[in-house]
Amino acid sequence: MRAVQLSKYDQRPELVEVPEPQVSGPLDVIVQIGGAGVCRTDLHIIEGQWEQKSGVALPYTIGHENAGWVQAVGDAVTNVAVGDPVILHPLVTCGLCGACRDGDDVHCANSAFPGIDTDGGYAELLRTNARSVVKLDPSLEPAEVAALADAGLTAIHAVRKAAATLRPSQKVVVIGAGGLGHIGIQVLRALSPAEIIVIDRSRDALELAEQLGAHHVVEANGTQVEAVKDLTGGHGAEAVLDFVGEGGAVEDGVAMLRRAGNYYVIGYGGRIDVPTIDVISTEINFIGNLVGSYADLSELMVLAARGLVTLHTARYPLEEFGAALHDLEQGTVRGRAILVP
């Protein structure tokens, strides 16, 4: 089968022929990929940023946002059948460790992460397990929801934390209305009554944010902190969801936060450098977010089936993966880029 493999860091991946994955265990599920999301993390992987953390042996197939159709199953699989459309939770988990038994799949002690530390979905087929597949509603097509497997899952994981404490009178700032942020805005509208303020440098992204239900949009042109202060009566927002995490976004986000506010770190690449006296004197909280649980993904698919969360996508054939990565790197993708084998 065809697969996009990385053979050397800081070098363009290649489309090559590799053996097809086979069922080797009773809970294995082989999925024919119908759509694979192209994520900024893929750029970071190619650059070598994940080399030490993943420990993966090169060459391997990248791609961690995947959906498609079940092609084959192990003898013990009962939740899906051959031909079913599915979206894949990004982790292959054991179901037996403490984290899995608590429903906290993302912290499974024995997990594999296709596209990060094992072969992923920039390919025609991918092997996962029964615990990782969520059957899709008949109204949903794999290519249109594939990026929800990670970008959407990360967004709903963070938004559910924020929505649990936000009230109608309160305000939440979303930094970044791109691939992750435009999903986060929709989930916020679905789960929270709070007033949504969206910050982005791109006018196109801000226009999309308005279409998706943002109450206020602010261009990041150097005056964004003052604009948020004006919109919040000088106090700052009760919550900030930072989908950027670098390039000054962190400093801006902290400055936009009110006393006792919550700062949700979703994007990464920068650093949080806040004097500890400022943290204790204002009682602000920093909350990290790493994808989400199987339950998060199931809930997200309910929102998608109801039309409350939709992906804005640009589709590319698998052989045009280089163009997709280039367009993402140049910031010309509106929403999410999707590879379709």
Report how far residue 326's alpha carbon sits from residue 39's, in angstroms, rounded to the nearest whole number.
Answer: 11
- List, for the chain, all residue ranges whose pLDDT scores fall below the cut of 50: none
Cα-based angle 177, 223, 154 (whole degrees, multiple of 5): 25
Tens-digit pLDDT profile for residues 201-260: 999 999 999 999 999 999 999 999 999 999 999 999 999 999 999 999 999 999 999 999
Give yes or no: residues 244 and 179 share one domain. Answer: yes
Sign of the CA dihedral with 146 first, then 86, 310, and 91 last:
negative
Give yes or no: residues 234 and 305 share one domain. Answer: no
Give me the number of domains the chain comprises.
2
Cα 180 to Cα 37, 109, 152, 236, 334, distances in angstroms: 12, 26, 7, 23, 11
> The domain spanning residue 15 has which CATH number?
3.90.180.10
Give yes or no: residues 143 and 6 share one domain. Answer: yes
Task: Identify the pLDDT of residue 268.
Answer: 84
Task: Identify the pLDDT of residue 179.
Answer: 83
Give yes or no: residues 128 and 176 share one domain. Answer: no
Give yes or no: residues 235 and 330 share one domain. Answer: no
- N-terminal to C-terminal alpha carbon distance within the chain: 10
- Find residue 14's DSSP bridge partners: 5
Give yes or no: residues 93 and 191 share one domain. Answer: no
SS3 state of residue 216: strand
Cα 62 to Cα 95, 180, 196, 279, 292, distances in angstroms: 24, 19, 34, 39, 20
Strands 257-265 and 237-242: parallel
Give yes or no: residues 250 and 302 share one domain. Answer: no
Residue 183, token pair as written in the block: 């999903």
Show the domain range for 194: 153-288
Strands 66-73 and 85-88: antiparallel
Give yes or no: residues 79 and 175 share one domain. Answer: no
Give yes or no: residues 277 and 206 share one domain. Answer: yes
> The domain spanning residue 181 has which CATH number?
3.40.50.720
Task: Identify the pLDDT of residue 218.
Answer: 98
Give yes or no: residues 197 and 274 share one domain. Answer: yes
Give yes or no: residues 139 and 229 share one domain. Answer: no
Give yes or no: residues 214 and 245 share one domain. Answer: yes
